[in-house]
Structure 1
């Protein structure tokens, strides 16, 4: 099977795509891949490091207000469609899947117009503009949240989950704890604001460091590369408690997550897929700076089912954060119930589900 994957802009679109590719490689040896992204996006670096054939088109996203730039974007879209058609024909694609980001627009649209079986994968509970547009043309729409189903034609939607969820299973949590300097006997709360970090979360944690040092649990505090040096200076003034480990970034996150009891995080779709797959309770502080406020809606998909506590950024203080952490970690019954609720929302075989959906589509639609 010849599979074209397109997705880019953020890790939330790229990592699920890579997880799917890895799963397909395990399932079948004769699959061939072509990844279509943009040169400017993260995908051009991340995908090529994985030794996956990569080609690019030039495309930009639409602005939400009328502007001259949108006219240019329409031109780039049409040009991108033509280039995509040429690449798809040359590759002789059997199926095309878009995992999000505006680069998917021309690629998946071109595939649909050529009669190639097409799927889009929507990671969030509220879809973005590109997937809303493509939903009219694709054969199937794979979603990760029940809440997303209402936005798409019902006959096309399949709940598959996020392929990234499959990659965090089977990891050694003890090894993960050792790798970042944590003890194996005390509970651990992981605090992180994504790969670049989140300043409001960092500020709340820094104001609470002294109090955190008196807690019976450990804290793994990931600042994000962009904020690490600034945080380090603050910590030198305050003093770093012995039960708090501070890191700029975690490269072996799946392994580390396997040893975590509670997570404080943003509410990106990939993060939530990992947490629910492992059954990790969370305190979610959604970013208010994203399209359609989709992170808050993602978070509510967990908090409404008892798998997470929702803490809005505008209400975030060091005291509120520590109070919520204490209420969960120091109440064994609540912690257990949240673990069970998180696990019930998880779809650990998401990558397999998505691959089988692709296989079925190719068989039934063909070329």
Structure 2
């Protein structure tokens, strides 16, 4: 069996695809996986390191996901679809999975033109323009959140939650030390690309939280471009913070933390829910269709998070909210339980299993038709 995972560009689209690829191989070890992504996307750095094959498309000409009619007519799209069509002819996949973002569009369209079985994943509470456009070509649409089902064609959607990498899941063997043997832990996630405003807010708020407070520790993932700047700032302030540009195996860090400060990307919210980790979420204010605000509000409505709007966020407000939550263990426990009710950890295997079952049915149907 051969599966093409189409899309990427950012971690929010790429890592669900990685989780799904891993699940296919765990179910059937001989499954061949090929990623089809952008020639300048995050996948060019991540996928080869993970040992998967990567083919790239000329995506730069179709990155403006404005009016879909203009997008569909663009020369850049036609070039990318043509290359994807040729690649599918050479690779002969059994399935194409679109994982969202502009980089997924050519591969899913080409799969439709070639008659290759295809599905897409939608990670956000508010669907992206690319997936709304691709919904007419997809045969199955897997949803990370149930609230968006009415926005897609009837009969195509399956609510599964978002696929989460095994490295981001909290192991049952990994846990916090007993009370009295550990410090409370704040985990700050600046995102894989680095969220400048969130990093700056944390840099201003954290030193005063740590001074004279030996019962608290802070882990700050900064994103690759902000690591040195953030580390230098904390050292200048004379406080000890564990600064990490990018965390590969998130599960261990989720297990260590009592509270997380993060943006509200779909995968961050999904991972925090699955980990049972309470959060303060500051949605990125310029996200398309304000989808990060919708993601954040979804977890807040469950009781697992507090939302602070970017326009209102300041160091003093952040300090007050962090102190309030970390000094209220019963409230944190209540929020953690709410996260666990909202989260799911088996979406990758469920989607892989569903698609394998669907493909088996299609093969049986084709064999019966040929007899």
TM-score by length of 2: 0.88
Aligned counterparts of 1:45 and 1:239: Cα–Cα separation in 2: 34
The verdict on how the C-alpha distance between 1:326 and 1:148 changes in structure 2, with shifts beyond 3 A counting, is same
Q: Describe the superposition over 1:244-294 as per-residue Cα deviations: whole angstroms up to 9, x where unpaired.
A: 433333343222222111101001111112111111111101111211111
Is 1:268 aligned to residue 265 of structure 2? yes
Are residues 95 and 365 of structure 1, via their aligned partners in 2, closer, same or farther at CA, if it must alter by over 3 Å? same
Q: Distance in 1 between matches of 2:71 and 2:155?
A: 33
Residues 224 and 115 from structure 1, CA distance in 2 versus in 1: closer, same or farther, beyond 3 angstroms? closer
- Alignment match of 1:278 (pick from 270, 275, 279): 275
CA deviations over 1:55-89 (Å, ceiling 9, x no partner): 2221233536679xx67972222232232222223
Indicate the larger mover: 207-216 or 27-36.
Answer: 207-216
Alignment partners' CA distance in 2, 1:269 and 1:184 = 34
Q: CA-to-partner distance for each residue in 1:281-331, whole Å, 9 max, x for gaps?
A: 111011112111111111111001101000111111122112212222222
Pairing of 1:94-173 with structure 2 (within 5 A): 94-164=94-164, 166-171=166-171, 173=174
Question: What residue number does 2:250 align with?
Answer: 253
Q: Is the 8 A contact 1:307 1:339 kept in 2?
A: yes
Alpha-carbon distance in structure 2 between the residues aligned to 1:56 and 1:223: 28
Question: Following the alignment from structure 1 to structure 2, what is the Cα–Cα distance between the partners of residues 138 and 257?
Answer: 34
8 Å Cα contact 2:36-2:57 kept in structure 1? yes
Tell me the SS of whatever aligns to 2:226. Answer: helix
- Which shifted more, 142-151 or 213-222? 213-222
1:327-350 CA distance string (max 9 Å, x none): 222222211111111001111111
Which of the numbers 186, 189, 193 marks the counterpart of 1:192?
189
Aligned to 1:212: 210
Gaps of at least 5 residues in structure 2 are 367-371
Query: Which of 276, 290, 294 pairs up with 1:293?
Result: 290
RMSD: 2.5
Measure how far apart 1:224 and its partner are.
3.0
> Offset at 1:205?
2.5
Alpha-carbon contact 1:97-1:119 (below 8 Å) kept: yes
Quick one: distance in 2 between partners of 1:16 and 1:33?
14
Q: How many residues align?
A: 357
**Is the alpha carbon distance of 1:212 and 1:73 closer, same or farther for their aligned partners in structure 2, counting shifts above 3 Å?**
farther
- Stretch of structure 1 that moved more, 337-346 or 164-173: 164-173
Alignment check: 8 A CA contact 2:170 2:251 kept: no
Would the aligned equivalents of 2:65 and 2:102 in 1 still touch at CA under 8 Å? no
Alignment gaps of 5+ in structure 1: 178-182
Residue in 1 that maps onto 2:76: 76
What is the SS of the residue equivalent to 2:102? coil
Distance 1:90 1:224 in 2: 37
Q: What secondary structure, in the 3-state scheme, does the structure 1 residue paired with 2:256 have?
A: coil
CA contact (8 A) 1:225 1:249 kept: yes
Please say if residues 165 and 349 of structure 1, whose CA atoms lie closer than 8 Å, have aligned partners that are also in contact. no
Q: What is the aligned partner in structure 2 of residue 49 from structure 1?
A: 49
Q: Which moved more, 1:330-339 or 1:161-170?
A: 161-170
State the secondary structure of the residue aligned to 2:219. strand
Matched position secondary structure for 1:338: helix
